[in-house]
């Protein structure tokens, strides 16, 4: 839980003076954009990403793939509408250096890609990236035939000595600290000589929707994937080697980034509409329809998008967030304003996210007068009357948006380094003030 002294600027979180009433166009999903980039880069023909997210995490992913020989060009999409990236696969090669920033998707999804490159690919990133678990990917790739130099750390920084191809085969991993270990191996596996069979051996596996997202997106570009859900063994995924298609895909809005805006409707008893909310999706943010309904709102999927309405009441919740861990900071923020206590469970692995999110949420909410305690795998939140103060973000985009949610209802909350939202939502401060309108009411 380190804080960057260069990022001490304070942003006064706007207080809502009434019920919000706004339509908020949320940019593309980080998780879908970064998977689509990797799959398009590994394809046998060019492809298109329409409405990709452009944020720190996705720009780092695009930059890394370019450094390894992939063409990624700005375009307007084949039908002439919308912004797009055209991805032109090329021979992957080193030497190259990849900056992973603090992007889990970049640090986990790209070492397998680098094994397919000719030459050394060096991976480095923010100080926090050195602390985030990567051993599952490193050990698995070595077992599948890769050469990786990490000076025995099992973490970043490291160099993949790409040999132009990887044997692949069967591998056991413990992905209890991050589902991204499984996703990483599956995404590149169609290009491994023998494909892959990944066997998860750990006792828990977080973020299953993100693994389903990986599987669905692989299948959409022509890969053959066997999963526990398709009749296979529990905790075993198999990908057959084969060429991937270059597709034209439109990226869904980021439903986890819709969270603070939905929370605003819930907290102010207002209404927020999110256009283009997908009817079917593997994004974990879709669970907000149910979770925020249990916490006092109601919602309807209409032709205009997801229309979410607050009732003026905010209820506490007892919920296992293991499948949807990235929603925890926003739910904790709402829970701190509720009319009863909450228990958030199943998220011990959040201690190894952008920051130790359980410690950070506990400390920051309590410093505003709250009563939060950490449990072995989550948080107990007992709402108390909160007061203003500085809300530190620890370079964590979701801490910044959590602070903004609290600031809607609590006067004088100042967010330190709101610019950290650039990881996945660079326009957050402007979108937030636009939602509130010039008078603090819905636009």
Ligand X SMILES: C=C(OP(=O)(O)O)C(=O)O
Known binding-site residue numbers for phosphoenolpyruvate? 30, 104, 132, 180, 357, 398, 423
Active site residue 131: no
How far is the C-alpha of 67 from the C-alpha of 70, rounded, in Å? 7
Is the CB of residue 158 less than 8 Å from the CB of residue 138? yes
* Cβ atoms within 10 Å, residue 302: 10
Place of tokens 């801490």: 399
Say whether residue 56 binds ligand X (CB under 6 A).
no
Q: Is 104 in the site for ligand X (CB under 6 A)?
A: yes
The two beta strands, 169-173 and 196-200, are parallel
Nearer to ligand X, 31 or 227 (CB): 31
Q: Which of residues 254-293 bind ligand S3P (CB under 6 A)?
A: none
- 183 belongs to the binding site for ligand S3P (CB under 6 A): yes
Smallest gap from Cβ 105 to ligand S3P, in A, equals 5
As given in the structure block, the two tokens for residue 225 are: 């994937």
Given candidates 27, 28, 69, 104, which one binds ligand S3P under the rule CB under 6 A?
104
Which two three-digit tokens encode residue 292?
């925020």
Closer CB to ligand X, 200 or 398, in the complex: 398
Sign of the Cα pseudo-torsion (21, 9, 356, 206, in order): positive
Please report, for the chain, how many H helices and E strands are present, in that order. 13, 23
Stretch that binds ligand X, among 101-109, 145-153, 262-270, 408-416 (CB under 6 A): 101-109
- Note whether 210 binds ligand X by CB under 6 A: no
By the 10 Å C-beta count (0-12 exposed, 13-18 middle, 19+ buried), 13 is classed as buried
* Least CB distance to ligand X at residue 19 (A): 28
**Set 197, 252, 323, 326: catalytic member:** 326
Q: Decide: is 61 part of the binding site for ligand X (CB under 6 A).
A: no
Q: How far is the CB of 172 from ligand S3P (least distance, A)?
A: 18
Residues 197-216 that bind ligand S3P (CB under 6 A): 206-207, 210
Separation CA 316–CA 218 (nearest Å): 38
Whether 386 contacts 370, CB under 8 Å: yes
| CA gap 329, 1 in Å, rounded | 15
Catalog residues that contact ligand X under the rule CB under 6 A. 103-105, 326, 353-354, 398, 424
Catalog residues that contact ligand S3P under the rule CB under 6 A. 31, 104-105, 178-180, 183, 206-207, 210, 325-326, 349
Active site residues: 326
């Amino acid at each position: 839980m380190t804080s960057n002294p260069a990022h001490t600027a304070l942003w006064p979180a706007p207080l809502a003076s009434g019920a919000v009433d706004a339509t908020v166009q949320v940019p593309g999903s980080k998780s879908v954009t970064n998977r689509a980039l990797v799959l398009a880069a590994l394809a046998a023909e060019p492809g298109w990403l329409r409405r990709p997210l452009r944020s720190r995490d996705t720009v780092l992913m695009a930059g890394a793939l370019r450094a390894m020989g992939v063409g990624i060009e700005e375009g307007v999409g084949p039908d002439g509408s919308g912004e797009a990236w055209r991805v032109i696969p090329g021979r992957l090669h080193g030497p190259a250096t990849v900056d992973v920033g603090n992007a889990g998707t970049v640090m986990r999804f790209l070492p397998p890609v680098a094994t397919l490159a000719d030459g050394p690919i060096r991976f480095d990133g923010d100080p926090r990236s050195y602390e985030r678990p990567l051993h599952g990917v490193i050990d698995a790739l070595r077992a599948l035939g890769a050469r990786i130099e990490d000076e025995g750390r099992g973490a970043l920084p490291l160099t993949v000595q790409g040999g132009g191809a990887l044997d692949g085969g069967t591998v056991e991993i413990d992905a209890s600290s991050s589902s991204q270990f499984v996703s990483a191996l599956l995404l590149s596996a169609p290009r491994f000589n023998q494909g892959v069979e990944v066997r998860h051996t750990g006792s828990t596996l977080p973020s299953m929707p993100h693994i389903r997202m990986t599987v669905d997106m692989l299948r959409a570009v022509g890969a053959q994937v066997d999963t526990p859900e398709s009749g296979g063994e529990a905790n075993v995924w198999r990908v057959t080697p084969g060429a991937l298609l270059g597709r034209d895909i439109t990226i869904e809005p980021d439903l986890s980034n819709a969270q603070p805006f939905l929370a605003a409707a819930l907290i102010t008893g207002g209404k927020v509409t999110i256009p283009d909310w997908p009817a079917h999706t593997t994004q974990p943010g879709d669970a907000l329809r149910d979770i925020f309904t249990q916490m006092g709102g109601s919602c309807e999927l209409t032709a205009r998008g997801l229309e979410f309405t607050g009732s003026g009441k905010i209820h506490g919740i007892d919920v296992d967030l293991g499948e949807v861990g990235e929603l925890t900071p926003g739910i904790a923020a709402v829970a701190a304003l509720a009319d009863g206590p909450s228990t958030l469970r199943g998220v011990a692995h959040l201690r190894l996210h952008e920051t130790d999110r359980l410690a950070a949420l506990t400390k920051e909410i309590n410093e505003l007068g709250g009563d939060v305690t950490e449990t072995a795998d989550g948080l107990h939140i007992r709402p108390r009357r909160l007061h203003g103060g500085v809300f530190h973000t620890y370079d964590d985009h979701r801490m910044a948006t959590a602070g903004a949610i609290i600031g809607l209802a609590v006067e004088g909350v100042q967010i330190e380094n709101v610019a950290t939202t650039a990881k996945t939502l660079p326009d957050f401060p402007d979108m937030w003030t636009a939602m509130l309108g010039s008078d603090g009411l819905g636009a």
